[in-house]
Chain A
Amino acid sequence: MRILPILFAFAGATLAQDGATRADWNYHGGTQFAWRYSALDQINRSNVTKLVPVWAFQTGDYEMGLQSTPIVIGGTLYLSTSRSQVFALDAATGRLIWQFKYPLPRVTVPYGPQNRGIAVGGGYVLLATYDDYLIAIDQNTGQEAWRVSLDDMRQCGCTVTGAPLVVKDKVIVGGAGGDSAHRGYLTAVYLKTGRVAWRFYTIPGPGEKGHETWKGDSWKFGGGATWMTGSFDPGLNLVYWGVGNAAADNDARARYSGQGEGANLYTASVVALDADTGKLKWYHQEVPKDVWDFDSSYECVLIDREVRGQMRKLLVHVNKGGYAFVLDRVTGEYINGYPIVDNHNWTTGLTEDGKFVGRVEPVEGKPTLFCPSPFGGKSWNETAYSPRTGFLYTPTIEVCGEETAIAEEPHEGRSFIGGTWVFTNPPDGPAHSHLDAYDPVTGKRQWSYPYKYLLLASLLATGGDLVFTGDPEGFFFALDARTGTKLWSFQTGSGHRGSSVTYMLNGRQYVATPSGWGSLAAGAFPALWPETGTFRGGSALTVFALPEGTR
Chain B
Amino acid sequence: MTRLSVLFLLPVLACAQDMIGRGADVFGKSCATGYCHGAKGGSGSTAPRLAARGFSEEYILQTISRGIPGTAMPAFGSVLPREELVAVIAYVDSLNGITPRNPAPEAEPEKKLPPEAARGRELFFDSLRGFGRCSTCHQVDGFGVPVASPIAIIPADAAALRRLATPHVETATVAGESFPALVVSQGKNQTKLYDLTAPPPVLRTLAPASVTLKQASDWQHARVLSTYSDAELQAILAYVRTAVAP
Instruction: For A107, list chain B residues within 8 Å (CB).
Output: 69-70
Q: Find B33's partner among A83, A419, A424 (CB 8 Å cutoff).
A: A419
Query: Provided the pairs A146-B202, A420-B39 are in contact, do residues A106 and B34 lie with their beta carbons within 8 angstroms?
Result: no
B29 within 8 A of A: yes
Assess whether B44 is in contact with A423, with CB atoms less than 8 Å apart: yes
With CB as the reference atom, state the residue of chain A lying closest to B67: A108
Q: Which of B191-239 contact A (CB under 8 A)?
A: 195, 197-198, 200-205
A147 within 8 A of B: yes
Query: Provided the pairs A422-B44, A520-B35 are in contact, do residues A110 and B72 lie with their beta carbons within 8 angstroms?
Result: yes
A123 to chain B, nearest CB (A): 13
With CB as the reference atom, state the residue of chain A lying closest to B179: A193
Q: Which of B127, B145, B205 gathers most chain A CB within 10 Å?
A: B127
A274 within 8 A of B: no
Assess whether A194 is in contact with B204, with CB atoms less than 8 Å apart: yes
Assess whether B200 is in contact with A196, with CB atoms less than 8 Å apart: yes
Instruction: For B200, list chain A residues within 8 Å (CB).
Output: 148-150, 196
With CB as the reference atom, state the residue of chain A lying closest to B49: A527
Size class of the B contact interface (CB-based, 8 Å): 35 or more
Query: Provided the pairs A293-B34, A521-B46 are in contact, do residues A112 and B72 lie with their beta carbons within 8 angstroms?
Result: yes
Query: Provided the pairs A63-B70, A108-B69, A423-B45 are in contact, do residues A195 and B32 lie with their beta carbons within 8 angstroms?
Result: no
Instruction: For B38, list chain A residues within 8 Å (CB).
Output: 422, 527
Q: Which of B123-149 contact A (CB under 8 A)?
A: 125, 127-128, 130-131, 135-136, 142-145
**Alpha-carbon distance A352/B244, docked complex (angstroms):** 61
Query: Provided the pairs A108-B74, A111-B72, A408-B29 are in contact, do residues A148 and B201 lie with their beta carbons within 8 angstroms?
Result: yes
Instruction: For B73, list chain A residues within 8 Å (CB).
Output: 108
Instruction: For A424, list chain B residues within 8 Å (CB).
Output: 44
**Alpha-carbon distance A195/B38, docked complex (angstroms):** 43
Q: Find B130's partner among A199, A411, A527 (CB 8 Å cutoff).
A: A199
Instruction: For A199, list chain B residues within 8 Å (CB).
Output: 130
Assess whether A412 is in contact with B127, with CB atoms less than 8 Å apart: yes
**Alpha-carbon distance A199/B30, docked complex (angstroms):** 31
Assess whether B69 is in contact with A106, with CB atoms less than 8 Å apart: yes
Assess whether B47 is in contact with A523, with CB atoms less than 8 Å apart: yes
Q: Which of A407-421 contact B (CB under 8 A)?
A: 408, 411-412, 414-415, 417-421
Assess whether A108 is in contact with B127, with CB atoms less than 8 Å apart: no
Q: Mark B60-83, 1 if CB is under 8 A from A, else 0.
A: 000000011111111100010000
**Alpha-carbon distance A146/B204, docked complex (angstroms):** 4
A154 within 8 A of B: yes
Assess whether A108 is in contact with B75, with CB atoms less than 8 Å apart: yes
**Alpha-carbon distance A99/B79, docked complex (angstroms):** 36
Assess whether A195 is in contact with B145, with CB atoms less than 8 Å apart: no
With CB as the reference atom, state the residue of chain B lying closest to A156: B127
**Alpha-carbon distance A523/B73, docked complex (angstroms):** 14
Assess whether A419 is in contact with B44, with CB atoms less than 8 Å apart: no
Assess whether B205 is in contact with A143, with CB atoms less than 8 Å apart: yes
B26 within 8 A of A: no
Assess whether A108 is in contact with B72, with CB atoms less than 8 Å apart: yes
Assess whether B72 is in contact with A526, with CB atoms less than 8 Å apart: no
Is chain A's interface secondary structure helix, strand, loop, or mixed overall? loop
A186 to chain B, nearest CB (A): 13
Q: Which of B75, B198, B200 gathers most chain A CB within 10 Å?
A: B200
Instruction: For B17, list chain A residues within 8 Å (CB).
Output: none
B43 within 8 A of A: yes
A380 to chain B, nearest CB (A): 13
Assess whether A527 is in contact with B43, with CB atoms less than 8 Å apart: yes
Assess whether B127 is in contact with A195, with CB atoms less than 8 Å apart: no
Q: Mark A385-415, 1 if CB is under 8 A from B, else 0.
A: 0000000000000000000101010011011
Assess whether B69 is in contact with A152, with CB atoms less than 8 Å apart: no
A487 within 8 A of B: no
Q: Find A147's partner among B128, B197, B198, B203 (CB 8 Å cutoff).
A: B203
With CB as the reference atom, state the residue of chain A lying closest to B35: A520
Assess whether A149 is in contact with B205, with CB atoms less than 8 Å apart: no
A144 within 8 A of B: yes
Q: Find B79's partner among A414, A420, A423, A523 (CB 8 Å cutoff).
A: A414
Instruction: For B197, list chain A residues within 8 Å (CB).
Output: 193, 195
Q: Mark A462-473, 1 if CB is under 8 A from B, else 0.
A: 000000000000
A321 within 8 A of B: no
B36 within 8 A of A: yes
Assess whether A152 is in contact with B33, with CB atoms less than 8 Å apart: no
Assess whether B34 is in contact with A179, with CB atoms less than 8 Å apart: yes
Assess whether A194 is in contact with B195, with CB atoms less than 8 Å apart: yes
Instruction: For B34, list chain A residues within 8 Å (CB).
Output: 179, 249, 293, 374, 415, 417, 419-421
A386 to chain B, nearest CB (A): 33
Instruction: For B127, list chain A residues within 8 Å (CB).
Output: 151, 155-156, 182-183, 412
Q: Find B71's partner among A112, A152, A220, A417 (CB 8 Å cutoff).
A: A112
**Alpha-carbon distance A520/B34, docked complex (angstroms):** 11
Q: Find B203's partner among A146, A422, A520 (CB 8 Å cutoff).
A: A146
A311 within 8 A of B: no
A414 to chain B, nearest CB (A): 6
Instruction: For B32, list chain A residues within 8 Å (CB).
Output: 420
Assess whether B72 is in contact with A155, with CB atoms less than 8 Å apart: no
**Alpha-carbon distance A83/B204, docked complex (angstroms):** 22
Instruction: For A108, list chain B residues within 8 Å (CB).
Output: 67-75
**Alpha-carbon distance A374/B35, docked complex (angstroms):** 9
A145 within 8 A of B: yes
Instruction: For A179, list chain B residues within 8 Å (CB).
Output: 34-35
B97 within 8 A of A: no
Assess whether B70 is in contact with A104, with CB atoms less than 8 Å apart: yes
A330 within 8 A of B: no
Q: Which of B34, B43, B145, B205 gathers most chain A CB within 10 Å?
A: B34
A109 within 8 A of B: yes
A113 within 8 A of B: yes
Q: Mark B143-183, 1 if CB is under 8 A from A, else 0.
A: 11100000000000000000000000000000000000000
A524 within 8 A of B: yes
Which residues of B line the A interface, CB within 8 A?
28-30, 32-36, 38-39, 42-47, 67-75, 79, 125, 127-128, 130-131, 135-136, 142-145, 195, 197-198, 200-205
Beyond A145-B205, A415-B30, A422-B38, 11 additional contacts (C-beta under 8 Å) are A106-B69, A108-B68, A108-B72, A108-B75, A109-B71, A144-B205, A146-B203, A293-B34, A422-B44, A521-B46, A527-B45
19 contacts between A and B (CB under 8 A): A110-B72, A145-B205, A146-B202, A148-B200, A149-B136, A152-B145, A154-B143, A193-B202, A194-B203, A195-B197, A406-B29, A421-B34, A421-B45, A423-B44, A523-B46, A524-B45, A524-B46, A527-B38, A527-B43
